[in-house]
Amino acid sequence: MTDAQGLPLVTAVSAANTHDSLALKPLVMALPDVRSRRGPRRRRPAKLRADKGYDYPEIRHWLRNRNITPKIARRGIESSERLGRYRWKVERSISWLFSYRRLSIRYERESRHFAAFLSLAATLICYKRLAKLAT
């Protein structure tokens, strides 16, 4: 999961034959507190954008119960082009992750090793972004 600028917030590794919608709930629950300029810190983001693979009524209901507005493209109704205005940020962060050779081809047999390299790459991406902002 990424923030609005494409920085990775939460990473996870799942099996190849697992549908992406099954990993959404644990990733949303693992999100860190959102820092706000004024007032108390929010626990969750205000809205969540996703593609048609996450268009299930139980996911929409689960997000609404947590005061998260789902911005999910509907299957068979909306075209994929409308979501493309925001999707490029996610695609950019995936390309940032794949710039690390260890992640582009999975060399590790152990999933926890791959998850460790994925977390390390996400940390380096955030560090580089913060270093760029500081200068």
Give the pLDDT confidence of 78-96 residue by residue, as tens digits: 666 665 666 677 778 888 8
Mean pLDDT of 38-60: 81
Domains of the chain with bracketed CATH: 20-134 (3.30.420)
Which pLDDT score is estimated for 43?
Answer: 67
pTM: 0.73
Q: 45: which residues sit within 8 A by CB, 6+ positions away?
A: 31, 34, 68
Mean pLDDT of the chain: 81
Band of residue 58 on the pLDDT scale cut at 50, 70, 90: very high
Closest CA to 129 of 41, 32, 6, 37: 6
* Cα separation, 103 vs 62, whole angstroms: 32
**Residue 20 φ/ψ, nearest 5 degrees:** -60, -30
